[in-house]
Amino acid sequence: VRPQQPTTLEYAILGLTGMSPMSGYDIHRVFETTPLAHFSSSPGAIYPALRRLAQRGLVDAKLDTRTEARPRRVFALSQKGKGALGAWLRRAVTREELIRGSGAPILRFALAEDRLTPEEVLAYLESYRRALESYLEELEEHARAMAANAGLHLRLALDQGIRGYQSELEWVKSAAARIRRAAGRRVPRGRAGA
């Protein structure tokens, strides 16, 4: 029974509390009203997750007692949590993460803001690109092998998968370019615009 590493939901919560301290309800609202809706958002998921994170010392709970009768528990990313989150953000994208649409790859990118250096972000995107290209090859190989004998629906479904990953790949490339440009403005590697 290993130390039990956080779930994707828990990492998402770590990332949010790391932006600014939040209550359970604040997190609920984020999952309700932003495109992070992927994670939903029931109290039965969020409050237990917060308790687990607090027990493991990844977030600090503070009781907000400003005149209110009901205690408002506000959670903030702890030093230890910062370490765990940082380590996760630096993980290379794996084939398995692509296949199970866990949303982890894009979540890591979104939460990397101000936590990773531009170089680390670019390294991460590079791993993302590699994973996509390698998996795309697999899928295209499968499409070739399948060819005409399989049913029309199966071929079309596979085509959807391929298109989706291709679009993701395009995005990775353009995002890397954007990051490089943004970084260039403040960290002119080599001899750029100065």
For a second copy, the binding residues (CB under 8 A) are 34-35, 37-38, 40, 99-103, 106-107, 109-114, 139, 142, 151-154, 156-161, 163-164, 166-168, 170-171, 175, 178-179, 182
Q: Which of 21, 60, 72, 82 binds DNA (CB under 7 A)?
A: 72
Alpha carbon of residue 134 to chain centroid: 20
Query: Could you give the count of Cα atoms lying within 13 Å of 94 in the half-sphere of its Cβ?
Result: 8
Instruction: Give the max Cα distance, the chain.
Output: 71
- Residue 42 in the binding site for DNA (CB under 7 A): yes
- Residue 71 in the binding site for DNA (CB under 7 A): yes
Instruction: Report the nearest approach of a second copy to the CB of residue 193 (Å).
Output: 18
Count CB atoms within 10 A of the CB of residue 165.
19
Instruction: Report the nearest approach of DNA to the CB of residue 23 (Å).
Output: 4
Cα–Cα distances in angstroms (integers) from residue 112 to residues 4, 55, 132, 162, in the given order:
23, 24, 20, 27
Instruction: Report the nearest approach of a second copy to the CB of residue 54 (Å).
Output: 26
Q: What are phi and psi of 155, to 5 degrees?
A: -65, -40
Identify what 72 binds: DNA, a second copy, none; CB under 5 to 8 Å per kind: DNA
